[in-house]
Structure 1
Amino acid sequence: MAGPDRREGSLTPRPHAGTLALARGGAFSPPAVLPDLRGWAGRALAVEVAQRRLFPWIAVAFGCGILLFFQAEEPSLPAPLAGLALSAALAWGLRKRPVALAVFVGIAAIHAGFLAGGLRARSVAAPVLARVTIAPLTGFVESVEDRAEGRRILVRVARIEGLAPEATPFTVRVSAKNAGKLAPGLFIEAKARLLPPPQPAWPGGYDFGRDARFRRIGAVGSLLGPAKVVEPPAGPPWTLVASARIDAARNALTERIASAIGGPAGGVGAALVTGKRGLIGEATNDVLRAAGIYHIVSISGLHMVLAAGTFFWLVRAILALIPAIALLWPVKKIAALAAMVGAAAYCVFTGADVATERALVMTLVMFGAVLADRPALSIRNLSIAAILVLAREPEALLGPSFQMSFGAVAALTAAAPLLSRMGESLAGDGASATPLGRAARWVARHGLGLFATTLVASLATAPFAAYHFQTVNPYGLIGNALALPLVSVVVMPAAVLGVLAYPFGLDRPVWQVMGYAVNHVLDVSAWVGGIGGATLVVPAPSLGAFALASAALLLMTLPASSLRWLAVLPLGAGLAAAAPARYDAFVDREGAGAAVRGRSGALVLVGRPSSFVTEQWLRADGDSRRADDPSLREGSRCDRGGCIVEAAGRRPVAFVQDMAAFEEDCRRASVILTRLKAPARCAAGLVLDRDVLAAWGATALRFVEGNAVEILSVRKGREVIPLSGAAAAPVSPDMRSRPQSARPVPEQDLPDDEVSSGEPD
């Protein structure tokens, strides 16, 4: 048997024959004209194989297959299934050739990811409402969430009057201002106004419609009047009964915690335990976002690790007090098993949302490694968790929650050796130090550890925050460093103890202790958020820059060798491409309004789009103004027939809301935007009317050289067309001076309950 290699005084495993084969040549070898690079790459790959660091790239390949699935127009299942079988067979047949084995395992993982996406899409396929519908509906209440403006209710539909069974959505989400005593599990009848799930407000924006499709939500809207509880035609399925009982228990505990703590801290404390965030006021949400710690109110990795860690510590400490058990039984493994059971129960009770399930998988893998006498936190375990999560919910790969949580954990795991060495250097020789010196070193070591881990996680998640939310919180490092110790040491242990004391009715003092800590967290958040520049709105980076930043993060965290230096290439390219080419106009998917870049360089609002859509446009442009800012209306000339904005290159852009305005605007405007049907004879260079927007969806425009316009739409992608026949003259004083008797364009319909905060889980 080959012994250890003791070169340079180190004790490292000697690579086996497959490792040497990879190091000496094969498909991974650099050209011979670069001998130094060839040797460096060979040695680095030998380290990767010896430390089994090729395995995490299987998860990356699996994710690439999922991305390919979501890019496919009409994906089918037989093709990826055949590709998976063929590549797996080739990998098995060539298993003695390391390079070929690695290549075909990666190809098999790509096909497996594509297949997982197809299977998931087929399993959740359900009808989606095609148009706005006002009709009575009946169904079982699946969940209820109290909110400041009313209740948000998820209804598993039995019937919607006027819709055929094959066109009836599986579930609908509705808001109700007067929902009475509706509770999960009841069968109700009510009149509702329902809309199809909204598409993105701009190409590249948050796609609620996609998320709703994978949650089998086929419509959103509101109840018109009170709901009546009636007798169901048949009993509910057991899955609905179980979920309804869990949701009812969550609501009861949420109300108990909120009433015991009181004030804004009550809503935050309840959200930390049950995951119900409806009682948190918008002002409190803004304070938490500004401080960069909004993630603490979403049940995800932080909460799962702290809850499971509390179970692990309590069980291990109790068992250690009993000598007969401590000496004869594997106390650590028993505690790990108890933590796994407690974490699973915690996940089920908090609603088993996507982020919570993902955190549960990571936690189970971590404690499973303890049971198998393996390192609990490693890149390999993280890769296993990623594969399991994506196999169950491939759509999670596209969301910020998955990207930010796994990115942060990967960065922390990769930086763990460096952070450990920093802690050891600060510890020094504890035996020779005075008690005061040891205490000072302990505080310095743990303080530096908290600061360093927060910095690493913040840097790792910054690209995802900029891409998905167009915000950066430069003082989030301070907010997390000051708030997380309270959450870790007081809030989460109190949450576990409170849940255990709740059945006995002894929980109120525990919640009050937790509320005291939560109040201090809110005070810290208010202080950090009050610092100038606590929240910076940045333009949405391009997809290419985001992809390069993601590749750089993978190259920095997955390799164990000097291959990490390759991350400099995509990182540099991503920074070079970080400044986006901003859009010159955003057009609502229904033509209810638009935002056009005026002569001042700022967006000018015309029409009446919803406030949610307007804020999405402003964020994408890096504009920190709110939707109700009066300056948004400056720079346009309006009458009852519509508005004119002089855009880039002195191109008049007309927003038309009356048929009589088409005659002049079609002659003098470069671009016509309207929710009406434009006349066929309209001579404007580009006309986006009702029919075009119905086919394209939300659209963004960018004027390019040569009197052309680049069009990007949600449904049709990218296209560049010339503005032939368009007037390119400045806005004349008489334009928009006609008195019209037109009715203003109504505000776009977007239900309140579907306005996403856009915060990561």
Structure 2
Amino acid sequence: MEDNQAKPPRIPRSVAQAAALPRPWGLSLELGLLDGRRRLSKAIASEIEQRRLFPWIAVFFGIGILLFFQAEGQPALWAPLGAFGICSVLAFVLRRTMPVFTVLVALAAIFAGFSAGVIRSRSVAAPVLGRVTITPIAGHIAAVEDREEGQRLLVRIVEMKGVAEAERPHFVRVSLRRDGEFSAGQFIEGTARLLPPPEPAWPGGYDFACDAYYKGIGAVGSMVGTVRRLAHPVPPGWRLKLAAFVDEARNALTQRIASSIGGAAGGVGAALVTGKRGLIAEPTNDILRGAGIYHIVSISGLHMVLAAGTFFWLVRALLTLAPWLALLWPVKKIAAVFAMIGAAAYCVFSGSDVATERSLIMTLVMFGAVLADRPALSMRNLSIAALIVLACEPEALLGPSFQMSFGAVAAMMGLVPLMQGTREGKGSASMIEQGLRWGGRAMLALLTTTLVASIATAPFAAYHFQSLNPYGLVGNALALPLVSLVVMPSAVLGVLAYPFGLDRPVWQLMGAAVSQVLEISGWVGGFSGSTLVVPALGVGALALLSLGLLLLTIPVSVLRWAALLPAGAGLALAATPHRYDVFVDRDGAGAAIRAADGRLALVGRPSAFVIEQWLRADGDGRQVDDAGLRQSARCDSAGCVVAAENGRHVAFVQDFAAFEEDCRRASVIVTRLEPPATCQARLILDGAALRERGATALRFEADRVEVASVRKGRETLPWSTGQNARLQGTPARERPQTVRPVPEQDLPEDEISTGEPD
């Protein structure tokens, strides 16, 4: 007869193994394992109770987007959508089993992010120009940006001669070397020199072509000859009309503000209100960057919060003037509605850039929480805003704007409980003492949040811009009070007074404050070491530091201490960067080669923009026009040779006659020509390979060489005596005997976007 007595509880294997150890080690280990398991269970329960699992949905959604951008070719849509549906159904069915439910929700979020990437890429798909073309074009001007050196136009193409309709870009961006002749909404015709949006200058560098693709821009260049204004042969659509109307209104207000203030402060003041940064001179940009406050000139979270907060405060203050209204009506919620309307109008008027739309979503979520009687500032609201932004524009995840803004906000929100806990009661202190305490707490809060935001955004700044501003804390602490208390309230008041023609005094008041901000920036930027150029972070270091930031800010329990592991590993990788030894331009116009002294030596004639990108990636603070860049290269009319480390020589060949000697003595040959088949150099990177690979970089090691290129990714080749590796692309059609020094290629500097954080 079977024994029906209850079985004893099952002992975990880890505990059983600990119990089998000799005493007292077995007992102490057993107690430690049980205590650790209890602490972990308690921490997880605390995370669930505080609803801190929800923010991880946004994290896994982002992981799905990253996986999409790593995929090759055009991924199918049915696969991620089908997987998302299956995981969602299983999660609903197994919702009572918490571990399984959590894993299925995470998988569903990953597949949802991947699907969002596929849908977005297909929705913006448009032809991209495949070659340099000089051709007559005609189209509607969708947007105009006034700049010091002329204008930059975004043109909706209607006709482009010599280019088939299936290959014709929808939008092109062209520059003009003349002032104030054109406005949004006009129809123009003229001859343009167009080229494809340029790819990164080095593998891992800023990808202008990717940004242009998602903005619908299929070509960039400049207008040559006469540009004529014509009557509209084809009526523009309502969207184009609306965009032209808003852009023209922005340009008019930009000119009004700049003329009212004048000087450098005029351009900065106009950018603070309308988002048009074309009137800011580059020296002024450098001053703001050196002080670490360049973020104030882009319409983003700071501006949106200040503008919406001003609307909220004004409406609430006006309504509370009548006591019966304050008692009978939900004044706070009414003010929140007006703030949401004002923020949306401000977003539309400022151009609705990615950063502005992201800031608007975050602001609407905050005030929506006020309407629902929920806390406005919470990690849950931030996660909802991130999900909405990434679902609409998945490509934003790759940009510095999204990474730096959400990273800074998440890090600052982690300080809110601490800051609230340090507040002191009023007690019996006098009004003067209370005012001093309030001022001290406000200054402490400003310094603390600025420091935390600076630390949180430093990895992203190092990765995207290869620069750090150690005195940004000082610059922000001195400049932000002026921006918050004078500049932005004046901006709101000036916009309200603009239709009545009474805005000039307001702009002049704002200009005085902006001038003080520039003086502060110049003083802080003048400190020694105000801008540090650092080597580009690797993807691994950035990923580890980002994971550390997420683990530090999302959990509320002791689990946040787990952030120390990835953060420490990321800092270790960042402190020991693995630099490239050779940078080669995508067109073979030039290269930068690490000489025996450890610094880059320049050969050929790449553009100034490309040289700057190479120097920054290497952490080299020299300027583009530094004469020392070419001292380590031995050059003649046939090309250049640079003596690299470990006795290697790298040759840059521009004449076919140089191959005989360089193939014998050089370890690496870089050329736009087709080398002879008998060339015995260990590694040959020729014009055909560059046309297929794009910009390429080499990293030398003792027994191998790592090759990284924009289009072909990474590969490792053996580096042994007698080994010959020819990086081949499409075979060249002709074999010229020489290639003369090429002019600086790519775009004028005003056509290149530097990818500054918005």
Instruction: Please confirm whether the aligned pair reaches a TM-score higher than 0.5, indicating the same fold.
Output: yes
Q: Residue 297 of structure 1 corresponds to which residue in structure 2? A: 297
Residue 573 of structure 1 aligns to a residue whose secondary structure is: helix
- Distance in 2 of aligned mates of 1:264 and 1:508: 17
Asked if residue 552 in structure 1 is aligned to residue 564 in structure 2, the reply is no
Structure 1 counterpart of 2:85: 85
- In the TM superposition, residue 297 of structure 1 has moved relative to its aligned partner by 0.2
Question: Are 2:472 and 1:476 equivalent residues in the alignment?
Answer: yes
Q: Is the 8 A contact 2:581 2:594 kept in 1?
A: yes
Q: How many angstroms apart in 2 are the aligned matches of 1:365 and 1:628?
A: 48
The answer to whether structure 1 residue 674 and structure 2 residue 671 are counterparts is: yes
Q: Which residue of 1 aligns with 2:638?
A: 641
Distance 1:322 1:606 in 2: 74
**1:666 Cα shift?**
1.6
Task: Write the deviation string for residues 523-542 of structure 1: whole angstroms up to 9, x where unpaired.
Answer: 00000000000000000111
Verify: 1:754 aligned to 2:751, yes or no: yes
Instruction: Please tell me whether the aligned partners of residues 149 and 178 of structure 2 are also in contact (alpha carbons under 8 angstroms).
Output: no
Q: How does 1:228-377 map to 2 (within 5 A)?
A: 228-377=228-377
Q: Report whether the alignment pairs 1:609 with 2:606.
A: yes
> Structure 1, residues 451-495: CA drift from partner, whole Å, max 9, x if none?
001111111111110111110100000000000000000000000
Tell me the SS of whatever aligns to 2:449.
helix
Is 2:401 the partner of 1:378?
no
Q: Which runs of 5+ in 2 are unaligned?
A: 1-10, 13-17, 19-29, 725-736
Amino acid corresponding to residue 54 of structure 1 in structure 2: L
What pairs with 1:560-575 in structure 2 (closer than 5 Å)? 560-575=556-571
Match in the other structure for 1:55:
54
The two structures, once aligned, show a CA RMSD in angstroms of 1.7
Q: 2:26 maps to what in 1?
A: none
Q: For 1:566, give the aligned amino acid.
A: A
Superposed displacement of residue 683, structure 1: 1.8
Please state whether the residue corresponding to 1:625 is helix, strand or coil. Answer: coil
Query: How many residue pairs align between the two structures?
Result: 717
Note if contact 1:670-1:726 (Cα within 8 Å) is conserved in structure 2.
Answer: no
Residues 380 and 669 of structure 1: is their aligned pair in 2 closer, same or farther, counting only changes over 3 Å? same
How far the C-alpha of 1:742 sits from its partner, in A, is 6.6
> Match of 1:481, as an amino acid?
A
Residue 415 of structure 2: SS of its match in structure 1?
A: helix
Q: Distance in 1 between matches of 2:205 and 2:752?
A: 13
Matched with 1:110 is 110
2:512 corresponds to which of 503, 513, 516: 516
Matching residue of 1:11: none
Corresponding residue of 1:687? 684
Q: Given that residues 77 and 115 in structure 2 are in contact (C-alpha distance below 8 angstroms), is that contact kept between their aligned partners in structure 1?
A: yes
Q: Shift of residue 724 of structure 1?
A: 5.0
Deviation string, structure 1 residues 301-322 (Cα, Å, up to 9, x no partner): 0000000000000000001102
Compute the TM-score of the two structures, normalised by the length of structure 1: 0.92
* Conserved 8 A contact 1:80-1:114: yes
- Name the SS for the 2:708 alignment partner: strand
Distance apart, 1:723 and its partner CA: 4.1
Query: C-alpha separation between the residues in 2 aligned to 1:752 and 1:161?
Result: 27
Deviations 1:608-650 (A, max 9, x none): 1111110101011000111111111110101111111011212
Q: C-alpha offsets along residues 565-618 of structure 1, whole Å, 9 cap, x if unaligned? A: 110110111112112111111110010011000111110011111111101010
Superposed displacement of residue 750, structure 1 = 2.2
The answer (yes or no) to whether the contact 1:700–1:713 under 8 Å persists in 2 is: yes
- How big is the shift at 1:741? 9.0
* 1:497 alignment partner, one of 482, 488, 493: 493
Show the counterpart of 1:8. Answer: none
Distance, in Å, in 1 between the alignment partners of 2:653 and 2:756 is 35
Rounded to whole Å, the distance in 1 between the matches of 2:713 and 2:378 is: 40
Deviations 1:283-341 (A, max 9, x none): 00000000000000000000000000000000000011022311110000000000000
- Aligned partners of 2:191, 2:754: CA distance in 1, in Å? 28
- Separation in 1, partners of 2:722, 2:222: 43
Q: Which residue of 2 aligns with 1:535?
A: 531
**TM-score, normalised on structure 2?**
0.93
Find the residue that maps to 2:277 and give its secondary structure. coil
Partners of 1:657 and 1:745 within 8 A in 2: no
| Structure 1 position 716 matched with structure 2 position 715 | no
- Counterpart mapping for 1:196-235 below 5 A: 196-235=196-235
Q: How far does the alpha carbon of each residue in 1:109-143 deviate from its partner, in whole angstroms, 9 at most, with x for none? A: 11110000000000000000001001001111010
TM-aligned CA deviation for residue 725 of structure 1: 5.8
Deviation at 1:749, TM superposition (A): 2.5
Aligned-partner Cα distance in 1 for 2:135–2:722: 45
In the other structure, the counterpart of 1:596 is 593
1:319 to 1:436, Cα distance in 2 relative to 1, 3 A: closer
| In 2, Cα distance between equivalents of 1:333 and 1:353 | 28
CA contact (8 A) 2:702 2:719 kept: no
Task: Give me the whole-angstrom Cα distance separating, in 1, the residues matched to 2:273 and 2:750.
Answer: 22
CA-CA distance at 1:76 after TM superposition: 1.0
Contact 2:151 2:180 in 1 (8 A): no
SS of equivalent residue, structure 2 residue 643: strand
| Match of residue 15 from structure 2 | none
1:411/1:635 CA distance change after superposition, 3 Å: same
Would you say the 8 A contact 1:120–1:394 is kept in 2?
yes
Contact 1:584–1:648 (CA under 8 A) maintained in structure 2: no
Task: Give deviations 1:56-97, integer Å, cap 9, x for gaps.
Answer: 000011111101111111311000010011001001111122
Using the TM superposition, give the Cα deviation of residue 179 of structure 1 relative to its aligned residue in structure 2, in angstroms.
6.0
The CA deviation string for residues 635-684 of structure 1, in whole angstroms up to 9 with x for no partner, is 01011111110112121111111222122112211111122232333221
SS at match of 1:34: helix
Separation (CA, whole Å) in 2 of partners of 1:96 and 1:227: 68
Q: Mean Cα displacement is larger for which, 246-255 or 409-418?
A: 409-418
User: Counterpart in 1 of 2:579?
Assistant: 582
1:179–1:226 contact (8 Å) kept in structure 2: no
Cα distance in 1, alignment partners of residues 432 and 302 from structure 2: 32
**CA–CA distance in structure 1, aligned partners of residues 635 and 33 of structure 2:** 66
Unpaired runs of 5+ residues, structure 1, are: 1-23, 26-30, 729-739
